[in-house]
Amino acid sequence: MGSYKINKGDIQRLLENLLKRGLVEGILVQSKGEKDIFTTLITDPGLINTTAPLAPLFSSNSAKYLRNNGFKNIAVFVKPCEARAINELIKLNQIRSDNILVISADCHGTIDPKDGAISEPLTKAKRKELEGKGISLRKACTVCEHFTPPEVDISIMTIGIDEGYILVTDNDEPLEGLDLEKGEVPKGRDAEIEKMLKERSENKEKMVSEIRRKLSSVGSLTEVLKNCIRCDNCREMCPICYCKECYFETPLGDLKTDEMLYQAVIKGALRVPPDILFYHLTRNMHVASSCVECGACEEACPRDLPLLALWKAIAGDVQALFKYASGMKGDEPLPLAGFKESELEEVK
Ligand code: SF4
Ligand code: SF4
Ligand code: SF4
């Protein structure tokens, strides 16, 4: 494993190097426009100077744009929650892993892109400045416990590093020609991570206990979800929702007027849209063991339903049951894809 001292310019040199040497044909990375920052797929090395890889913004989980990737080599520069979703989708056979180079950096938290176009990581001082302007971290980031990169090809450490950053990789090939100086991970980094983790875990516990108080039965889940209009935004924006053909797009799951009328005749009346609880329980069943708690579903919900808290509670319980942290390791088998005779003895 190699670790190198780098600065912001070196990150752009690395991306340029990948394109110029033909190691990849495109790079999925954030770029800076005149007034905003957005995700781009860049193929022209001359445009790398417009990129803002460390920009603390999150508009959607980019892993969803990589599903069913073909045979072209590409690199992606993503947040840890996006990298974790990529690892999960690789295990779910939805992303080919042999032609994708994943780069991820420590994440100090992100804001909604509509709140500004900031290019640098959100240090404590920067967060304070933003709070003064009424801009806060995305809710998912205030409760995120996996803000350092999972297993990826290239990790960039920014937390607890006084000057510049530290790049860590097992594969030096993409770095050839960059003449990077070797560097060490500073000892103080772990303490800084601990501090951030403590704050976020406390926030998470609070969020989870609040939603648990509301969820004492299936009836109470219906109550929490009662304003859902089945617009499908949460499903569309979820990077993990992986079925190539979703049940809710089939005639059985997407009832037309006559089918609804048929059910209404049986019951006397049918609540419309139908099957809200079934929709959410299906998503829960499919996504819980792989959910990366990125919050993209809740941000896409027009009815402001507390989806993140639900996932934190449900996915948290399922993953804890199987001692599994979604997407942290590339080769850890999916909990529901195998059967171990020795597990869950208490339900025998
Ligand atoms: S959820 Fe975590 S990894 Fe994702 S953007 Fe927020 S802090 Fe970063
Ligand atoms: S269910 Fe929501 S929080 Fe979980 S991975 Fe999907 S979009 Fe992210
Ligand atoms: S985004 Fe909100 S309203 Fe739309 S289906 Fe999901 S939970 Fe329901």
Distance 265 CA to ligand 3 centre (A): 27
- Write down the pLDDT at residue 217: 80
**What ligand has the least distance to the C-alpha of 248?**
3
Rounded Cα distance between 58 and 113, Å, is: 7
Q: Which atom of ligand 2 is nearest to the CA of 283?
A: 1
C-alpha 233 – ligand 3 centre gap (Å): 6
- C-beta separation of 29 from 40 below 8 A: yes
**CB-ligand 1 contact for 147 (6 Å cutoff):** yes
Q: What pLDDT, on the 0 to 100 scale, is given for residue 348?
A: 61
Atom 1 of ligand 3: nearest residue by CA position: 301
Buried b (16+ CB within 10 A) or exposed e, 317-344: ebbeeeebebbbebeeeebeeeeeeeee
Coil, strand, or helix at residue 279?
A: helix
Rg (the chain; Cα; Å): 22
CB-ligand 3 contact for 230 (6 Å cutoff): yes
- Residue with tokens 């594969």, as numbered in its chain: 171
**pTM for the model:** 0.95
CA of 264 to the centre of ligand 1 (A): 44
Q: What is the pLDDT of residue 324?
A: 94
Q: Which residues pair with 169 in a beta bridge?
A: 2, 154
d(CA 264, CA 254) in angstroms, rounded, equals 15
Which of 292, 298, 318, 319 gets mutated to test ligand 2 (max ligand atoms within 8 A of its CB)?
A: 292
- Any ligand 1 atom below 6 A from CB of 165: no
- Relative to the CA of 138, which ligand 1 atom is closest? 6
Q: Encoding tokens for residue 72?
A: 């072209």
Does any ligand 3 atom lie closer than 6 A to the CB of residue 238?
A: no
The strands making up 154-157's β-sheet, listed across from edge to edge, are 37-42, 26-32, 74-78, 100-105, 154-157, 165-169, 2-6, 181-182
Q: How far is the CA of 79 from the centre of ligand 1 (A)?
A: 6
Q: How far is the centre of ligand 1, averaged over its atoms, from the C-alpha of 136 (Å)?
A: 13
pLDDT in tens, the chain (348 residues): 799 999 999 999 999 999 999 999 999 999 999 889 999 999 999 999 999 999 999 999 999 999 988 889 999 999 999 999 999 999 999 999 999 999 999 999 999 998 989 998 898 888 899 999 999 999 999 999 999 999 999 999 999 998 899 999 999 999 999 999 999 988 889 999 999 999 999 999 999 999 999 998 878 999 999 999 999 999 999 999 988 889 999 999 999 999 999 999 999 999 999 999 999 999 999 999 999 999 999 999 999 999 999 999 999 999 999 999 999 998 889 988 877 777 777 766
Of all protein residues, whose CA lies closest to atom 7 belonging to ligand 3?
A: 228
